[in-house]
Amino acid sequence: MGGKRRESGLRALRRGAALGLALTALWIFGLTADLSGAWDALGRLGQTPSFVLGALSQELEGAPAGDGLSPDLDRWGRLLLAQSALISGGRPAVDAFLAEQAQAEEPPAEPIDQEENDQEEPELSPVQHGEVVEYTNLGKDDGSYLTTDQIYVKNSTQGQEVDVAALASQPVDLKLGAGPQILIVHTHGSEAYTQDEQDVYVESDPYRTTDCTKNVVRVGEEMAQVFRSQGFEVVHDTTLYDYPAYNGAYERSCAGVEKWLEQYPTIKLVLDVHRDALVSADGAAYKLVSEVEGQKVAQVMLVVGSNDSGMEHPNWRENLALAVKLQLELTRDWGQLARPITLRSSRYNQHLSPGSLLVEVGGHGNTLQEAIAGARLFAQSIGQVLKTMEEP
């Protein structure tokens, strides 16, 4: 051990002597020549993080460990580092470089879901250009999601236990027959998206408009068109249940759905189509995107209600089983188009039908065209599943 220390010390002394001789030679040469440009270049190198880290690695015979400037050094190594003006002078640049690298490697912060409580109107502030953050919402295998076969479910209830694997294997058959089979409704129909050159609208509130060619009603119509092209009969309720008053929208849409179900008992699937609203801690809007065949489209999320709030909803597990079945097809067809399913305490009028789901298409950071593209893909996959449930 003592021999190794002496060898390390001698090696450090030899390097120090060599460095000293080199600097002395440069100093003498500088007395007889104009080396101002060379010194400037040397100074710039001393402020270059990659050069400083490389020089440190060479001097210490190994790459820096830990934070890059605090490797495990013996006393000779520390002495050598302290005597190297070039390396120590570049430390501020290296510190800044390492900080930038660490920040770049940090995953994006989880957004705040402003629509988590659909009973209260979210407060959305207009954002300036450049304050929209692209975000792909995926499940995690860290225990925060229930999962099976690439299906992720976020259980936001307080006391409901769910076996996703059992739900995935549970048979679901809506028995679609003759007559209208699908109802599309919008409890919050005035919800709109980020305006761009193609889609401009007059706001009724931030990110809301009564223009049904520019709000989420337009997204629902795109779904209806896809379903109709697949041979289904669709009722699309374009009533703005959230205008002029947001509060009480679910009570009003509940009455509307009951009316449609009474008029058309053949309706087996009820889709309440919304758009989400996610923001960062500093108020930036999130654009929920997935890339499908080279095109950025809005992600889609299925939301399932329960009786966790104390309101009667005995068949909510049937709705959840349907959501899992649809999610399986969405994942097979489009990869990351579908966000994790969310199970919540509110029932969202889903007690009215065992084939009732809430669908969030994108967020307020998305454009309308991104939402339309995501809605089309969603409906294509859902229609394939529904085809297997048609009565002969």
Crossing angle of the two packed helices 91-105 and 49-59, in degrees rounded to 10: 110
pLDDT of residue 159: 83
pLDDT digits (tens, 9 = 90+) for 7-31: 555 555 555 555 555 555 545 545 5
Is residue 330 situated within a structural domain? yes
Check whether residue 73 and residue 144 sit in a common domain. no
**Contact partners, residue 194, CB within 8 Å, separation at least 6:** 132, 207, 285, 287, 364, 365, 366, 367
pLDDT above 80 for 93: no
CATH of the domain at 365: 3.40.630.40
Is residue 220 situated within a structural domain? yes
Check whether residue 239 and residue 121 sit in a common domain. yes
pLDDT above 80 for 218: yes
- Using CA atoms, how far apart are residues 94 and 81, in angstroms rounded to an integer? 14
223 token code pair:
């779904």
Report DSSP state, residue 247.
T
Check whether residue 184 and residue 213 sit in a common domain. yes
Is residue 349 situated within a structural domain? yes
Check whether residue 348 and residue 380 sit in a common domain. yes
Check whether residue 209 and residue 321 sit in a common domain. yes
Check whether residue 261 and residue 331 sit in a common domain. yes
The Cβ of residue 341 has, within 10 Å, a number of other Cβ atoms equal to: 26
Report H helices in 233-290: 249-263
pLDDT digits (tens, 9 = 90+) for 142-195: 888 999 888 999 999 998 999 999 999 999 989 999 999 999 999 999 999 999
At 213 the three-state DSSP class reads: coil
Smallest CA-to-CA distance from 362 within 168, 252, 202, 222 is with: 222
Is residue 255 situated within a structural domain? yes
For tokens 């995935």, the residue is 168
Is residue 265 situated within a structural domain? yes
pTM: 0.72
Check whether residue 73 and residue 146 sit in a common domain. no
- Using CA atoms, how far apart are residues 214 and 240, in angstroms rounded to an integer? 13
At 233 the three-state DSSP class reads: coil
pLDDT digits (tens, 9 = 90+) for 297-320: 999 999 999 999 899 999 999 999
Number of domains within the chain: 2
Domain boundary, last residue among 75, 105, 135: 105
Check whether residue 204 and residue 298 sit in a common domain. yes
Is residue 368 situated within a structural domain? yes
- Tell how strand 356-363 and strand 269-276 pair up: parallel
- Using CA atoms, how far apart are residues 247 and 108, in angstroms rounded to an integer? 33
- Amino acid identity at 107: P
- Rounded mean pLDDT of the chain? 81
pLDDT of residue 63: 44
- Amino acid identity at 277: A
The gap from C-alpha 129 to its chain's centroid, in whole angstroms, comes to 19
pLDDT of residue 281: 76
Check whether residue 229 and residue 367 sit in a common domain. yes
Least confident span in 91-95, 276-280, 340-344 = 91-95
Check whether residue 243 and residue 320 sit in a common domain. yes
Check whether residue 22 and residue 171 sit in a common domain. no
Is residue 392 situated within a structural domain? no
Domain boundary, last residue among 50, 75, 105: 105
Check whether residue 154 and residue 97 sit in a common domain. no
> Are 268 and 353 spatial neighbours (Cβ–Cβ below 8 Å)?
yes
- The stretch 378-382 carries a mean pLDDT of 98
Domain that holds residue 58: 2-105
Domain boundary, last residue among 80, 105, 130: 105
- Using CA atoms, how far apart are residues 145 and 163, in angstroms rounded to an integer? 12
pLDDT digits (tens, 9 = 90+) for 54-77: 555 555 454 444 444 444 445 555
Is residue 234 situated within a structural domain? yes
